[in-house]
Chain A
């Protein structure tokens, strides 16, 4: 790939550095989670997600369901599926569909940079949330997130991101993206419960996380994640078409 093409497509091309972190199982996963689970043995759930990349068909059902469920404003996504054509030595080109969302880290870099304590990690269940009534929209957290999972909502002028659909999980339901995952790639549940589907998957499979070198202790795990893609989270990618009109861009657009 020549340099002009790479530039056109954004920051892509070379393999990212660093091996994918392998997490042996749910027990070690929750043991490794550190800060959030300090103290007495937890009684309630701690939410986590396993994304089985073998089952993702790249249909964007999650992307659209999330937009519908959470009224996500134009030009932003709380989750979506990046689609890659990967070419490796001695191999035919292959397709990889990579669902991405907030990793609800146990060591969330976004929390400590918030000057007004608007963003925080919820005790127990562990969602990383933004209290919009406190947020001033400074976007430090947007910059701090290694997963490019935050944005400034141009309607509210506050930081916005995936909540693991906390309003649904508190009602005994599942996150919108999980409910509607056509391939069954998104598996959601209680990491504290060794009998939960997610805990069993973590025990049975070798899993990886995105950006392992950032040591964020994410709660979103991937089955079948190629090392070549574990760093592929920032605003790289796709051919973006020339705009055919003056779409009403939010001022804060790039």
Chain B
């Protein structure tokens, strides 16, 4: 940092409030007024604090409080979905407070052995527990507690709503559930604007959605569903949309969350659709580089990483560096040099990574023992925990029809097995040898080769993947990399040195900071650092999620398959497939000019909700007829989407928008119908963690309070599950109704209400994986509050099943014990496929707009628009000298603003401005400033910080709302006025760019991952009078 202060310049409180209280009274006046001028609290010493939920004596005896329940359930206050213990005031059906479930690894570092009786788990948390009750301390975070407010939020949608007047007008009427189901299924002139096709009509599995383009699939693909995140109910969504309804278009929020990271990781892990990823072994690593992710500040699993890193930097063996444009809670001053901050220019992480990679090649600091193993067999022989394709040969010959692909046996004229086809799994990859290319075997192979070999149709230039990576890293000098990322050369090489000085007990970790215009390659390069030291599946290195106990596919019931179900067909709305599969390509090729396509395609990306919106407003590749949003808020979450909103308000563009959501968020506000949903501790579900737990884990959620939502005519709470069940039954779709779920004997069971699905799922969780959990005892059920659902368990399940399901709910899920994390020095749940140093899918694909290929190895690429032009040339630094980024705090997320307790702590966001920017613009803390990008402009208050990299402005995500409570809501003619506190602050996504090079409008996305770009937006700033 250039800003060295010559004295201790000060400690600037940022973020949270510094003061306890607003003030105090004028004393004399008070004394004369006498006591009890206010309300008398419940108790003289402890005020209105409720009675404890239980008492524990020194000998460990427990005395339950009969007025309260303590139940192990699941928080859905963020995407981590921790197992928590929920304290319920039974008489008032109210959750009082939440802490952690001590069986659950997401909430507990030293989680209890699963066989511990429920009663003993309560003892462990009291003063008689180990470590004075703190060894098994199990926590809920601040947000996790504060979002309880959402259950009783006065703006919560509790009844089905239908819009009144124009779309987005903010005017609603309540309708019955039965009317809701009828109207969305049957359609008609629903809004007095003309006929709207209903779901029944759109479900045409024969007629092409677009004439002359059968590859796009049938009209049914015109119903698309965006479910923000799997909160444990995604299987029901997928069952409905794909297998029952027959549409292929299902996506989650990843392409506007951390999609570029996932894609970069997926490229290395060999699956760009499911995008596997690993996490550092926080407990055993000696050195970690956090870059674009911030343990303890945000991230997933938030608490687990925060706790493990805090422990490791204090009493453990971890030193780490946080590489980030903004100093955040991931760094800890009191931990001294064990925790360091390295500022970096936004969006340039790939330059740092490639500089480090260059140094590692030049200084022989790559793990050759690992990288030389070309196959699983070879890895086993060598005692390695994984292998890679570093040694596999790649066709590097522009004249070859398979340029960019990995060399295979058939390319060399090798004879294949009898029923094998060229390039299928049995067609061997080739490695170099003294006698030319040979199939991969059980021996190590040469790491580097660059030459010409004799293929079956003549000479072919080939190189190993590692050779290509070395070339790519050597393409630029250290000085080039340093100039790009703003980190001195000696720091880049020093970091590489330190990273490679711990054997395999070092790791790189990243996430949302990758959402820049170079995001895919930045993430691919950072992840490759892990592969170059061979740390995957090693204690202290990087580990996969340990797995889970699935609810849908167990020995008791088959909840995954649908008898008579549909297999969806056709290309997806998000264009995440090769352009070459389209009729458009074929027609253009026949006309002599295959490129450019009418819009970008992303063959190496997963489902892309971000791109859906460009597709919808442009009808490219096809028009859709109905958008179903499920707790999703793309209008708030996608940078730059505001430019597309006017078109979405036109019912001709998307004729039917249904939002299933407990709140009216910015996207729900555009819906034609809103379906209420259960929140927090009111619903059923099963989840596995996103990542970061080395043992098997399934967290269970069950209604520990009565849902506040309206009931159907049959008395079932209205939520996403019930809406899907009811619409499916009305359309007569397969997989729902009286004969829906087969058990192991083939006997069919009903799916008429949510518990039909989830209670059977609980039996699967309890019995899957070759072992079964013990039955819940009466005491387990009493202590855990599962008594509450005992009748439902007994009436739904078989006599030998229901106590097993009860056991799952009594302990809030099923968890493998901590001592199953490792086998010796290796992970007990290793990733069993190779790391791809070279990804041939990436390396052989042509960009649909430019017709050019991209490297199949990591590289540093400046941010680009879709036609390949450099962003820095379209918007030069002379006009746009600043880069803007967003970051997350530990408190607020995109849907928590209604939790009023959070706003007590941090009431708004500001513009965090680097000191150099402030000084050059005459800005001081507290000034109002205007920040402008080519995409938009916002005005806010400046906070000048040394902890922001030069040239940068950083904005916390989660504020700047226009809906939730930020706007008036009128239902049945009665208006609830807006609460300006919920409108506080600014939204960085308002600065997001439309890609100026796209003929069909769309937001700026990373060219490979197709994920929205919000990091490193070009901007300028001015001080306001």
Residues on A lying within 8 angstroms of B by beta carbon are: 1-2, 4-6, 8-10, 12-15, 52-65, 67-71, 74-78, 80-90, 92-97, 100, 115-116, 129-140, 142-143, 148-158, 160, 163, 165-169, 171-174, 176, 178-185, 187-190, 196-198, 223-226, 228-229, 232, 234-242, 244-245, 247, 249-250, 252-254
| Complexed CA–CA distance, A63 and B40 (Å) | 24
Q: Which residues of A contact B11 (CB under 8 A)?
A: 12, 84-87, 96, 228-229, 232
Check A187 against B134 for contact (C-beta < 8 Å): yes
B791-820 residues at the A interface, CB under 8 angstroms: none
* A156, B99: Cβ atoms closer than 8 Å: no
Per-residue contact bits, chain B 886-920, to A (CB 8 Å; 1 contact, 0 not): 00001100000000011011011010000000000
Q: Could you list which residues of chain B lie within 8 angstroms of chain A, going by C-beta atoms?
A: 1, 3-28, 30-31, 33-41, 43-52, 54-58, 96-97, 99-100, 109, 125-128, 131-134, 137, 139-146, 148, 295-297, 302-303, 306-307, 309-311, 313-314, 327-329, 331-335, 340-341, 890-891, 901-902, 904-905, 907-908, 910, 924-926, 941, 943-947, 979-981, 983-985
Q: State the total of A-B contacts with C-beta under 8 angstroms.
A: 423
On chain B, the residues within 8 Å of A131 by CB distance are 44-45
Task: Point out the residue from B22, B139, B148, B905 that lies within 8 Å of A181, measured CB to CB.
Answer: B139
The answer to whether A235 touches B19, judged by C-beta atoms less than 8 angstroms apart, is yes
Q: What is the chain B residue whose CB lies nearest that of A81?
A: B16
Residues of A within 8 A of B941 (CB): 239, 241-242
Q: Are A171 and B333 in contact (CB under 8 A)?
A: no
Asked if B25 and A138 sit within 8 Å, CB to CB, the answer is yes
Contact of A96 among B33, B44, B314, B333 (CB under 8 A): B333
Between-chain CB contacts (< 8 Å), 15 pairs: A1-B12, A61-B141, A64-B901, A76-B21, A80-B17, A82-B13, A83-B329, A93-B327, A139-B26, A139-B27, A139-B30, A156-B40, A181-B139, A183-B310, A196-B132
Shortest CB-to-CB span from B806 to chain A, Å, is: 26
Which 5 A/B pairs are nearest by Cβ-Cβ distance? A237-B18, A157-B38, A237-B13, A224-B334, A151-B21
Rounded to whole angstroms, the CA-CA distance of A155 and B39 in the bound complex is 6
B134 to A87, Cβ gap below 8 A? no
Is A83 in contact with B15, judged by CB distance below 8 angstroms?
yes
User: A74-B904, A138-B31 are contacts. A253–B22 as well, Cβ < 8 Å?
Assistant: yes
Contact between A94 and B341, CB atoms less than 8 A apart: yes
A94 B333 Cβ-Cβ under 8 A? yes
Residue of A nearest to B296 (CB): A57
Say yes or no: A85-B14 contact (C-beta < 8 A), given A57-B306, A60-B142, A253-B22: yes
Min distance, Cβ A22 to any Cβ of chain B, angstroms:
15
Neighbour of B49 across the interface among A70, A156, A184, CB < 8 A: A70
Closest to A116 in B: B35
Q: Do A70 and B48 touch across chains, with their CB atoms under 8 A apart?
A: yes
- The answer to whether residues A244 and B980 also contact, given A89-B5, A136-B31, A239-B943 and a CB cut-off of 8 A, is yes
A121 CB, nearest partner CB in chain B, Å: 13
Question: Which of B15, B133, B905 is in CB contact (< 8 Å) with A64?
Answer: B905
Say whether B310 contacts A238, CB under 8 Å.
Answer: no
Given A8-B926, A69-B97, A70-B49, A54:B310 Cβ within 8 A = yes
Alpha-carbon distance A10/B25, docked complex (angstroms): 21
12 further A-B contacts with Cβ under 8 Å, apart from A87-B946, A189-B132, are A8-B924, A65-B140, A80-B905, A86-B8, A88-B9, A157-B38, A172-B127, A180-B100, A232-B11, A235-B18, A239-B13, A244-B983
Q: Which of chain B's residues have a CB closer than 8 A to the CB of A223?
A: 334
Whether B333 and A95, one on each chain, are in contact in the complex, defined by CB atoms closer than 8 angstroms, is yes
B949 to chain A, nearest CB (A): 11
Shortest C-beta distance, A62 to chain B (Å), equals 8
Structural contact, A180 and B145, CB atoms closer than 8 A: yes
Give chain A residues whose Cβ lies under 8 Å from the Cβ of B57.
172
User: Could you tell me the distance between the alpha carbons of A70 and B125 in the complex, rounded to whole angstroms?
Assistant: 19
Residues of A close to B313: CB separation below 8 A: 54
Contacts of B296 in A (CB 8 A): 57-59, 183
Of A58, A100, A136, the contact of B34 (CB 8 Å cutoff): A136
| CA A136 to CA B908, docked complex, whole Å | 35
| Contact yes or no, B97 A54, CB < 8 A | no
- A243 to B: closest C-beta gap in Å: 8
A61 touches B145 (CB 8 A): yes
Q: Could you tell me the distance between the alpha carbons of A57 and B305 in the complex, rounded to whole angstroms?
A: 10
Cα(A83)–Cα(B984), bound, Å: 21
Given A55-B314, A88-B8, A237-B17: A63 and B142 within 8 A (CB)? yes
| Least distance between A176 CB and chain B CB atoms (Å) | 7
